[in-house]
Copies of this chain bind each other. A is one copy, B any other.
Amino acid sequence: MEGVDHLAHERNKAQFDVAVMKAVWAGSRDAYELFHRFSRLVANDPEMFIPAIKAQATEEQQKQWLPLANKMKIIGSYTQTELGHGSNVRGLETTATFDPKTDEFVLNSPTLTATKWWPGGLGKIATHALAHARLIIDDKDYGVHGFLVQLRSLDDHLTLPGITIGDIGMKYGSGAYNTMDNGSLIFDHVRIPRNQMLMRLSQVTREGKYVPSNVPRQLSYGTMVYVRQKIVFDASIALSRAVCISTRYSAVRRQFGSHNGSPETQVIDYKTQQARLFPLLASAYAIRFVSEWLNSFYKDLLQRLEAKDFSTLPEAHACTAGLKSITTSVAADGIEECRKLCGGHGYLTSSGLPELSAVYIPACTYEGDNVVMLLQVARYLMKTISQLKSGNKPVGTTAYLGRAEQLMQYHSDVLRAEDWLKPNVVVEAFEARAARMSMACAQNLSKFNNPEDGFQELSADLVEAATAHCQLIIVSKFIEKLQQDIPGKGVKEQLGVLRSIYALFLLHKHIGDFLSTDCITPKQGYLANEQLRSLYSQVRPNAIALVDAFNYTDHFLSSVLGRYDGNVYPKLYEEAWKDPLNDTSIPDGFHEYVQPMLKQPLHHGRL
Contacts and interface: CB of A to CB of B under 8 A. Distances in A.
Interface of A: 68, 71-75, 81, 83-88, 90-91, 112-113, 115, 118, 123-125, 127-128, 148, 150, 153-160, 165-174, 177-178, 181, 184, 196, 253-256, 258, 264, 270-272, 275, 336, 340, 343-344, 347-350, 354, 358, 361-362, 364-366, 369, 371, 375, 456-461, 463, 508, 510-512, 514-518, 522, 525-526, 529, 533, 569-570, 572-573, 575-579, 581-582, 585-587, 590, 594-595, 597-598, 600, 602-607
A158 B74 contact: no
Contact of A590 (B91, B118, B157, B184): B157
Contact of A576 (B73, B167, B581): B167
Contact of A169 (B127, B343, B576, B605): B576
Contacts of A159: 585
Contacts of A90: 258
Given A84-B569, A177-B347, 9 more contacts: A68-B602, A112-B570, A153-B605, A165-B585, A170-B348, A270-B456, A272-B460, A344-B362, A516-B522
Given A375-B272, A459-B272, A463-B272, A83 B569 contact: yes
A605 B349 contact: no
A526 B457 CA distance: 15
14 contacts: A128-B607, A154-B605, A156-B586, A157-B595, A166-B577, A169-B578, A169-B579, A174-B178, A181-B587, A340-B365, A347-B361, A347-B365, A515-B516, A516-B522
Contacts of A350: 169-170
Contacts of A586: 124, 156-158
- Chain A facing B: main interface SS: mixed
Contacts of A84: 253-254, 569
Contact of A369 (B343, B364, B522): B343
Nearest to A336: B336
B511 A522 contact: no
A443 to B, nearest CB: 12
Contacts of A365: 340, 343-344, 347
Contact of A354 (B173, B512, B590): B173
A173 B171 CA distance: 10
Q: When A and B form their complex, which 5 residue pairs have the shortest distance between CB atoms, in order from nearest?
A: A511-B512, A170-B349, A512-B512, A124-B587, A172-B354
Given A459-B271, A585-B159, A91 B256 contact: yes
Contacts of A81: 344
A73 B602 contact: yes
Contacts of A354: 171-173, 358
Given A153-B605, A605-B155, A526 B516 contact: yes
A128 to B, nearest CB: 8
A424 to B, nearest CB: 23
Contacts of A597: 72
A581 to B, nearest CB: 4
Contacts of A460: 271-272, 275, 533
Contact of A573 (B115, B123, B172, B255): B115
Nearest to A463: B272
A607 B74 CA distance: 9
Contacts of A125: 587, 590, 594
Contact of A349 (B72, B169, B517): B169
Contacts of A150: 606-607
Contacts of A518: 522
Contacts of A270: 456, 459
Contact of A347 (B72, B362, B529): B362
B347 A87 contact: no
Given A154-B598, A270-B456, A255 B73 contact: no
A576 B184 contact: yes
A335 to B, nearest CB: 11
A136 B165 CA distance: 67
A281 B547 CA distance: 39
Contacts of A178: 174
A159 B73 CA distance: 57
Contacts of A459: 270-272, 275
A357 to B, nearest CB: 8
B255 A88 contact: yes
A26 B585 CA distance: 44
B603 A154 contact: yes
A554 to B, nearest CB: 18
B154 A604 contact: yes
A576 B168 contact: yes
Contacts of A148: 607
Given A184-B573, A576-B168, A155 B603 contact: yes
Nearest to A353: B172
Contacts of A87: 255-256, 343
Contact of A582 (B86, B166, B371): B166
Contact of A118 (B344, B595, B600): B344
Given A349-B172, A460-B275, A595-B157, A88 B256 contact: yes
Contacts of A515: 511-512, 515-516, 522
Nearest to A88: B256
A456 to B, nearest CB: 6
Contacts of A340: 361, 364-365
Nearest to A526: B516
